[in-house]
Amino acid sequence: MTINYSRISAFVFLLIFLIYSYLAGEIKVFAFDENADFNARTFPKLISYLGIAVSFLTLVLSKNEEENLSQYEWISVLILFVLVFTYGLLIKSIGFFISTNLFLIISYLYLGVRSYKVIIFSSFPVVAGLQFMLHGLLDVYIRDPFLQLLGVIS
Amino acid sequence: MIEGILIGVNTAFSGYNILMVMMGCFAGTIIGMLPGLGPMSAIALMIPITYGFDPASAMILMAGVYYGAIFGGSTSSILINAPGVAGTVSSSFDGYPMAQKGQAGKALAIAAYASFSGGTIAALFLLVAAPQLAKVSLSFQSADYFALMCVGLLSIAAFASKGQFLKAMIMTSLGLALATVGQDSLSDITRFAFGNINLMDGISFVLLVMATFAMSEAFMIIFKKMDINFKSSDVSKSSLGSIKLSKSEVKEMVPTIGRSSVLGFLVGVLPGAGATIASFLAWGFERSVASAKEKIKFGKGSIKGLTAPETANNAACTGSFVPLLTLGIPGSGTTAVMLGALLSFGVQPGPRLYVEQPELFWAVIVSMYIGNVVLLVLNLPLIPYIARILAIPKNILVPLVLFFSVTGVYLISFNSFDIYFMAVVAILSLILRVLNYPMPPLILGFILGGMLEKNLRRAIIINDGSFSFMWERPISLALFIIMILIISLQVYQGFKKNNP
């Protein structure tokens, strides 16, 4: 049996479903439900049996698939991931408008956009338009300290 | 029924809902045209916009997005041989060669007329089939629903997995497992939340869909260095050629449209099959029934070769609404997303929908006619302009998709945890997709998980803890036999593949 990415992923899934199975058995149910025909543990246990069975079969039956994972742009995706994460961190503290524009501008610059006209027209009007639609038309309130400070929203 | 149809017509023809169909078709066409972003991403991106809408309008908008995305996918297939949607891959077989011969306009017109005809004929079938199936399904009990959902899960894993049945089943199991996170619906016991207050209410459906489709598609564009080498000048009116069809060309299309509409609708009704399989089957079928002289033209710019998949994929889209609206079981990944959206509106699709909310049931069906007319009247003349969207560079597109995904999820809960969680899920699904794990079974498993547990619980309690309902009820027995057949077919195909 040769090791390939399919087998490794199947093994990881096998471990996940084994842990899931263990955790399913640990779900605390009410005393009167302990011996019931169907309680909060039953369905997760059935899923875990299915998951274990199919992961095991994949592990055993997987064929060699040529997949060169080094050819992909891992770094760029990870940087975008960090940007999304940071966006999530900032959205509450500095507000929707500034954090979103910052996210868009930094992402454009990182991905190689150099025209300031394009950067500005693809960020501020888009965010302002969406915020107007949500706040002004659909009555969806988004807390925004910056726009509150400017008196744009109450 | 007549009264229901009239209510539906009234709802669908309100100015507001006509605007929804037009917006949906337009937005769907644009998003579907972009290689990498399919109807599931398009609908996922629309969910946050529909928060303030009533369920009928939201559903009409999403249905418009669905067939708009399929139409948009055809445009990029024909113009640049880069299908935006899997269901339009077979359209490129004959559409792209036509475009290369300077007949892009004609190819787009054929695609538009074929889509319109396929969608309209299938909507007529839906009009007849849906109420009948809804009546039959009123006799379904929990055990039958459980069996039906199992068939749905199994068939989407079998047919939508491109030969990776076991991997698709892993994703189904994972989807079902994710659905158990949070409070158990009956006992209110919290499961798998690990003390995290953000998980006690379960995982948000919108979060999962956005992360696995919209956000991970955006990551994938960067990850695979996908480039859209297309200039807006490539779709100027002059380079498209004429969009007029001659009488003989129309005559050639008509029988193909008839055959492919029926085929597409029937395939669409089957759980798990959908537009991709329908379009390939229709192309293959037309080729097999064509004369020897016509057969040679297939793959080199045949009118029939383009008409067949275009008709079938739109008919299948309409067909996939049959199990969704009548049984509450989605027939495809895209309708699974729609089901999730409907559930979040508090609407439970199923046989009772037809009786209790006829305005929603019929309005969606009627809006399909309107959508097909919109696609033909509005989109066809605008194609040279709409197709310029293909010129959007990926470095502008990706941040915008990420922004819409994050905003969509943030607007539900106003909780930063959801954004972090979404980003992690998007990265994990990106890795899984690279390793050929299909995502639609995960979404279907997640959406059906709750209903599956509820129906299994009822069936077991009614049967005093026994699983005998599997063979005691004729409907359940028939459905379990279908499951066995699907599994046997997969085993046979796997065996045949390994021992050619």
Q: What is the pLDDT of residues B177-225, one digit of tens each?
A: 999 999 887 788 899 988 888 898 889 888 888 888 888 888 888 888 7
Which one of B420, B436, B452 has the shortest CB-CB distance to A85? Answer: B420
pLDDT band at B500 (very low <50, low <70, confident <90, very high): low
Quick check: B434 and A67 CB within 8 A?
yes
Q: Residues B412-429: pLDDT tens digits?
A: 778 889 999 999 999 999
One-character DSSP codes across B195-235: T-GGGTT---HHHHHIIIIIIHHHHHHHHTT------GGGG
The answer to whether A98 faces chain B, any CB pair under 8 Å, is no
Q: Look at B434 and A37 and tell me if their CB atoms are within 8 Å.
A: no
Whether A17 sits inside 8 A of B173 (CB atoms) is yes
The secondary structure element, H or E, covering residue A52 is: helix A42-61
Which has more pLDDT, B423 or B363?
A: B423
Residue of A nearest to B463 (CA): A37
Which range in A14-23, A62-71, A111-120, B334-343 is most confidently predicted, on average pLDDT? Answer: A14-23
Which range among A16-20, B49-53, B398-402, B492-496 has the greatest average pLDDT?
A16-20
Encode pLDDT of B23-66 as tens digits: 888 888 888 777 666 777 788 778 777 777 888 888 888 888 88
Name the residue facing A140 among B52, B192, B223 (closest C-beta): B52
All residues of chain B having their beta carbon less than 8 Å from the beta carbon of residue A58 are: 166-167, 170
A30 touches chain B (CB under 8 A): yes
- Distance, in Å, from the CA atom of B270 to the CA atom of B154, rounded to the nearest integer, reads 12
pLDDT for residue B391? 67
Q: Which amino acid is at B41?
A: S
* Min Cα separation B52/chain A (Å): 6
How confident is the model at residue B82, as a pLDDT? Answer: 65
Q: Count Cα neighbours of B267 within 13 Å in the Cβ-side half-sphere.
A: 28
Asked whether residue B85 carries a pLDDT value surpassing 80, the answer given is no
Q: Is the pLDDT of residue B162 over 70?
A: no
Tally A–B CB contacts below 8 A. Answer: 171
Best-predicted range by mean pLDDT (A1-5, A116-120, B131-135, B318-322): A116-120
Contact B222 A77 (CB under 8 A): yes
Task: Transcribe B125-186 into DSSP letters.
Answer: HHHHHHHHHHHHHTT--HHHHHHHHHHHHHHHHHHSSTT-HHHHHHHHHHHHHHHTSEE-TT
Residue of higher predicted confidence among B441 and B131: B441
Ranges of each domain in chain B: 2-498
Residue of A nearest to B188 (CA): A40
Residue B229's pLDDT band (cuts 50, 70, 90)? very low
Whether B170 and A54 lie within 8 Å, measured CB to CB: yes
Structure confidence at residue B427 (pLDDT): 94
Residue in the block written with tokens 């300031």: A116
* Among the ranges given (A62-66, B98-102, B217-221, B285-289), the one the predictor scored with the smallest mean pLDDT: A62-66
- Both tokens of B23, joined, read 């917006």
* Whether residue B272 has pLDDT greater than 50: yes
The shortest C-alpha distance from B14 to chain A (Å) reads 19
Give me the residue from B172, B191, B414 closest to A40, CB to CB.
Answer: B191
Dihedral pair phi/psi, residue B157, rounded to 5°:
-70, -35
Q: Does residue A122 register a pLDDT over 70?
A: yes
The answer to whether the beta carbons of residues B285 and B255 sit under 8 Å apart is no
The whole-angstrom distance between residue B366's C-alpha and the CA centroid of its chain comes to 18
Q: Nearest chain B Cα to A121, which residue?
A: B396
Name the residue facing A27 among B176, B189, B436 (closest C-beta): B189
Residue with the larger pLDDT of the pair B275 and B261: B261
Residues in chain B within 8 Å Cβ distance of A72: 223-225, 434
**What is chain B's mean pLDDT, rounded?**
82
Contact B242, B104 (CB under 8 A): no
Q: How far is A120 from chain B (nearest CA, A)?
A: 11
Q: What is the mean pLDDT of residues B110-138?
A: 82
> Cβ separation of A91 and B432 shorter than 8 Å?
no
Determine contact, residues B274/B79, Cβ cutoff 8 Å: no
pLDDT of res. B13: 84
User: Which pTM was predicted?
Assistant: 0.80
Other CB atoms within a 10 A radius of the CB of residue B429 amount to 23
Domain assignments of chain A as residue spans, ordered by start: 5-69, 74-150
Judged by a CB distance cut-off of 8 A, whether residue A109 touches chain B is: no
Chain B residues near residue A27 by CB distance under 8 angstroms: 189, 191
Cα B6 from Cα B215, distance rounded (Å): 40
Q: Counting every residue, how long is chain B?
A: 500
pLDDT value of position A83: 95
User: Which whole number is the average pLDDT over B359-376?
Assistant: 80
Question: What integer pLDDT is reported at residue B234 of this predicted model?
Answer: 54
Contacts of A74 in chain B (CB under 8 A): 223
Average pLDDT over residues B346-370: 78
Q: Do A38 and B457 touch (CB under 8 A)?
A: yes
Which tens digits make up the pLDDT trace of A55-110? 999 998 887 666 666 778 889 999 999 999 999 999 888 888 999 999 999 999 99
Min Cα distance A135 → chain B (Å) is 11
Asked if B420's CB is within 8 angstroms of A67's CB, the reply is: no
Q: B170–A13: do the CB atoms touch at under 8 Å?
A: yes
Whether chain B has a CB inside 8 Å of the CB on A142: the answer is yes
* CB within 8 Å: B460 and A126: no
pLDDT at B161: 62
Task: Give mean pLDDT, residues B230-257.
Answer: 73
Neighbour count for residue B380 (Cβ, 10 Å) = 19
Looking at the complex, report in whole angstroms how far the Cα of residue B221 sits from the nearest Cα belonging to chain A.
10
Host H or E run for residue B459: helix B440-462
Task: For B452-464, write each residue's pLDDT tens digit.
Answer: 998 899 999 888 8
Q: What is the dihedral of CA A144, A147, A150, A152, to 10 degrees?
A: -120
More confident residue, A120 or B103: A120
Amino acid at B321: F
